[in-house]
Chain A
């Protein structure tokens, strides 16, 4: 079975801290994605990556950066966490574009105080 893991289920950080959210997939997927999910807004795409060292901005990249040094790992970085970044963060991966569905991690609920 495809497995996507995220480093933490729950995380509490202080305003201004640098935060790293890690995502690892074990099925050699080319594509990896970071979303945040907020009530009433659904999932919004932050960044995605189609290959190692490659990244593309999604719809809400401000305040975030990403890193993909290895194919299986995609990290989301909050350079200076703010309270409006309190949210559920979901990582996903998929094979090359086409009819392949995404596989999601369990999510990280981040609270910024």
Chain B
């Protein structure tokens, strides 16, 4: 199975600042993809953004963007202008086998 690593168990960011959440992967596949999900304290899983290995541009969706670096095997999520409602767990599952990493808990401070 592919391995997804989220090296930051917890992150803090000041409201209105940008934050980067790391996600690295280990694969020899040529075709792959990664999702990012948000899980607030309510427990629901919310799909944020998807990046495919053949996508020519980094994915963006509103305040969310991906810093996708294939050579480094990383697909880091960038959240711009953080809001208090961004406080949540964040996961980056692997598309090919839908495995999840341990996640990163983001806390936005007022």
The residues of A with any CB-CB pair to B shorter than 8 Å are: 33, 35, 40-45, 48, 59, 88, 90, 92, 94, 97, 99, 101-104, 106-107
Contact = CB atoms under 8 A, between A and B. Distances in A.
B91 to A, nearest CB: 6
B98 A40 contact: no
Contact of A44 (B9, B45, B100): B100
B40 interface: no
Q: Report which residue of B33, B98, B99 has the largest number of chain A beta carbons within 10 angstroms of its beta carbon.
A: B98
B79 to A, nearest CB: 18
Interface of B: 1, 6, 9, 33, 35, 43-45, 47, 50, 52, 91, 93, 95-103
Overall SS of chain B's interface: loop
Nearest to B104: A42
A42 B94 CA distance: 13
Contact of B43 (A35, A97, A107): A107
B30 to A, nearest CB: 15
Contacts of A88: 43
B33 A102 contact: no
B100 A33 contact: no
Nearest to B95: A99
B100 A35 contact: yes
Given A42-B101, A92-B98, A101-B35, 16 more contacts: A40-B9, A41-B102, A42-B6, A42-B100, A42-B102, A43-B100, A45-B97, A45-B98, A45-B99, A90-B45, A92-B45, A94-B98, A99-B33, A101-B50, A102-B47, A102-B93
Nearest to B46: A104
Given A33-B98, A42-B103, A107-B43, A99 B9 contact: no
A104 B102 contact: no
Contact of A48 (B50, B98, B103): B98
Nearest to B50: A99
A57 to B, nearest CB: 12
Nearest to A101: B47
Contacts of A104: 44-45
